[in-house]
């Protein structure tokens, strides 16, 4: 199975697509204005203590206060508060914890009002991003994730991932990490650490300790709501978590991001640097790798299942519902039970893919086609479980009930991906009234003439529908060539299948989109 990671840099952030055998299985959009992602550590301020909820609302700078429950304080919250106070008030305070005297642990069944007071400052970490009308979910049990290990300050426990089943390997890793970890730092050994040498584990551990020490320096001069330690960007965190898989390609189309990722891969997996490629093609990145088309096909309300049948995906406030339908597949089998099994088996794989692709979390109910045979229901259940093993988010799957329903819960730590696949008519903007499509070429001609003569642009790039692309570029004496001899400036055309036939975009020589309406009104002196 081939694995490819395609990263497309846009004006408002990075779009990240994970392909398996050229098929889209994960999609993330990391926006540049996202300041509250899972793993970030902030210096928060207690705004409200809610004894009835046994929780507190914490101000970390987000427009809604973040939520912190008593159970997320951690047993050593008093020691953490002592550390924060010392960092802010004592000049000789140290980031190291080896000389720190631990305070008594708090009662597991205690009250939050006995631990936190309004106006108090404390270190908190985001464990769930803001979703819908809710603010971030916080924890005071801090941790720093590396490639092989997770560093847990204010703890001395060394634990090993349950997925490492070899008793000898578990013993080796635990003994190894116990001998090299700093005092009063706990460590969780991740699954990918299996079989790794001490040098790799030690380098990973030292990198996390350095991050903690840098955070301590920030804490000494920090103001309320300041970010103390930032988690990696979405693209780097995906690389960190998935680099153990056999990636064939990592493609980036932005030069600065390419250099950043190259340096990061060089630090965590130097042998993988050669698979990183900088895409410089003329076609848009997601168009070139056929991702744009897959996004449009996969994010609609109705999703086609390979081999026949389709899914209908509905979202409510409480849960997500997936209905499996046979479609024209019902005519291909003579036996009704065989038809139901075949469609359900294909649907099971697509449901698992959709959960990863849309990052759907919470409760999911799947209504499969009814099957009488318990063995067939078990087969579908096993397929869903097997497919979800590839998912990085934790999930729980229950067997299909006698009503044909399967219940799934999936960890939700960030808002689900939602791509609008229905398109507003580019000419009428949804009004239902359009001008003649034949006039689009006149509109383009006027815009080009205006920008090249009156605005004196040196060059232009037009993104147009493939039909318009052919109209302007094909032939010995194409319209594009005639423009060149007329203006002595070159107008570049790029095919964009996401645009309607009566829609187009114009970019200047710096790659910035030109607002045509604004440009034309400036020239004509018209005030709108």
pLDDT at 517: 47
Average model confidence (pLDDT) for the chain? 83
Residue partners of 244: CB distance under 8 A and separation at least 6: 192
Virtual torsion, Cα 411, 413, 415, 417, nearest 10 deg? -60
Per-residue pLDDT at 72? 92
pLDDT at 1: 66
CATH class name, domain 300-410: alpha beta
Band the pLDDT of 291: cuts 50, 70, 90: confident
272-289, pLDDT tens digit by residue? 788 889 988 888 888 888
Domain 44-229 has CATH 2.40.50.140: yes
Residue 402 banded pLDDT, cuts 50, 70, 90: confident
Check pLDDT > 80 for residue 421. no
* 11-20, 169-178, 277-286, 402-411: segment of lowest average pLDDT: 11-20
Q: Where are the domains of the chain?
A: 3-34+234-291, 44-229, 300-410, 438-514
**Cα-based distances in Å from 334 to 329, 330, 331, 337, 340:** 11, 9, 8, 9, 11
Q: Mind giving me the DSSP string for 289-347?
A: TTHHHHHHHHSSSEEEPTTS-EEEEEE-SS-EEEEEE-GGGGGS-SSHHHHHHHHHHHH
> Mean pLDDT throughout 182-195?
89
Taking only the tens place, the pLDDT of each residue in 72-96 is 998 889 999 888 888 888 877 788 8
Q: Report pLDDT for 68.
A: 93
**Mean pLDDT score, 479-494:** 90
Closest C-alpha to 252, from 17, 7, 5: 7
Q: Could you tell me the two tokens for 50?
A: 């809610």
How does residue 298 score in pLDDT terms, banded at 50, 70 and 90? confident
Separation CA 110–CA 393 (nearest Å): 31
Query: pLDDT tens digits for 211-250?
Result: 898 888 888 888 888 888 886 665 666 676 665 556 788 8
Tokens describing residue 192: 């990918």
In percent, the amount of the chain with pLDDT more than 70 equals 87
The answer to whether 77 and 106 are in contact (CB under 8 A) is yes
Write b or e for each residue in 86-95: b if 16 or more Cβ atoms lie within 10 A of its Cβ, otherwise e. Answer: ebeeeeebeb
Instruction: Name the least confident of 121-125, 174-178, 323-327, 504-508.
Output: 323-327
pLDDT value at 62 more than 90: no
Tell me what pLDDT residue 296 has.
Answer: 79
Which pLDDT tens digit goes with each residue over 196-206? 888 889 988 99
The number of residues in the chain equals 528
Closest by CA to 146, choosing from 196, 112, 192, is: 192
| Band of residue 367 on the pLDDT scale cut at 50, 70, 90 | very high
Residue 527 has a pLDDT of 37
Third-level CATH fold of 3-34+234-291:
Nucleotidyltransferase; domain 5 (3.30.420)
43 has a pLDDT exceeding 80: yes
> In the predicted model, is pLDDT for residue 417 greater than 80?
no
- What is residue 279's DSSP assignment? -
């Amino acid at each position: 199975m081939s694995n490819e990671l395609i990263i497309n840099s846009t004006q408002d952030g990075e779009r990240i697509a994970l392909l398996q055998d050229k098929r889209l299985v994960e999609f993330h959009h990391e926006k540049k204005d996202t300041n509250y992602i899972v793993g970030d550590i902030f210096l928060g301020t207690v705004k409200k203590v809610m004894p009835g909820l046994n929780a507190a609302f914490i101000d970390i700078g987000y427009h809604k206060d973040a939520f912190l429950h008593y159970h997320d304080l951690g047993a050593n919250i008093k020691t953490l508060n002592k550390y924060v106070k010392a960092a802010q008030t004592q000049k000789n305070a140290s980031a190291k914890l080896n000389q720190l005297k631990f305070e008594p642990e708090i009662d597991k069944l205690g009250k939050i009002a006995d631990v936190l007071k309004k106006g108090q400052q404390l270190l908190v970490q985001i464990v769930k991003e803001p979703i819908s009308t809710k603010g971030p979910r916080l924890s005071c049990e801090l941790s720093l994730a590396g490639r092989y290990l997770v560093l847990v300050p204010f703890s001395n426990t060394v634990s090993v991932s349950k997925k490492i089943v070899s008793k000898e390997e578990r013993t080796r890793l635990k003994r190894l990490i116990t001998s090299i970890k700093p005092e009063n730092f706990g460590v969780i050994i991740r699954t990918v650490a299996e079989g790794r040498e001490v040098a790799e584990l030690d380098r990973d551990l030292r990198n996390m300790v350095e991050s903690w020490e840098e955070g301590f320096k920030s804490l000494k001069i920090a103001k309320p709501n300041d970010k103390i330690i930032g988690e990696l960007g979405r693209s780097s965190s995906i690389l960190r978590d998935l680099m153990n898989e056999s990636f064939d390609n990592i493609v980036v189309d932005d030069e600065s991001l390419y250099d950043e990722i190259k340096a990061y891969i060089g630090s965590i997996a130097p042998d993988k640097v050669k698979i990183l490629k900088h895409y410089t093609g003329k076609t848009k990145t997601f168009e070139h790798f056929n991702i744009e088309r897959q996004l449009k096909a996969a994010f609609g309300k109705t999703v086609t299942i390979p081999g026949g049948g389709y899914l209908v995906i509905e979202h409510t406030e409480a849960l997500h519902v997936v209905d499996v339908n046979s479609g024209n597949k019902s005519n291909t089998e003579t036996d009704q039970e065989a038809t139901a099994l075949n469609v359900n088996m294909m649907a099971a794989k697509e449901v698992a893919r959709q959960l990863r692709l849309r990052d759907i979390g919470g409760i999911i109910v799947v209504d499969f086609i009814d099957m009488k045979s318990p063995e067939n229901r078990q087969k579908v259940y096993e397929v869903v479980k097997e497919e979800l093993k590839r998912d990085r988010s934790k999930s729980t799957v229950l067997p299909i009930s006698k009503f044909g329903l399967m219940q799934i819960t999936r960890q939700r730590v960030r808002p689900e991906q939602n791509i609008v696949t229905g398109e507003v008519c580019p000419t009428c903007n949804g009004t239902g009234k359009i001008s003649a499509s034949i006039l689009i070429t006149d509109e383009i001609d006027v815009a080009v003439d205006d920008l090249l003569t009156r605005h004196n642009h040196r060059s232009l790039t037009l993104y147009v529908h493939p039909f318009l692309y052919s109209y302007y570029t094909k032939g010995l004496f194409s319209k594009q060539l005639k423009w060149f001899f007329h203006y002595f400036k070159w107008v570049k055309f790029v095919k964009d299948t996401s645009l309607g036939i009566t829609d187009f975009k114009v970019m200047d020589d710096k790659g910035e989109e030109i607002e045509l309406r604004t440009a034309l009104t400036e020239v004509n002196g018209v005030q709108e």
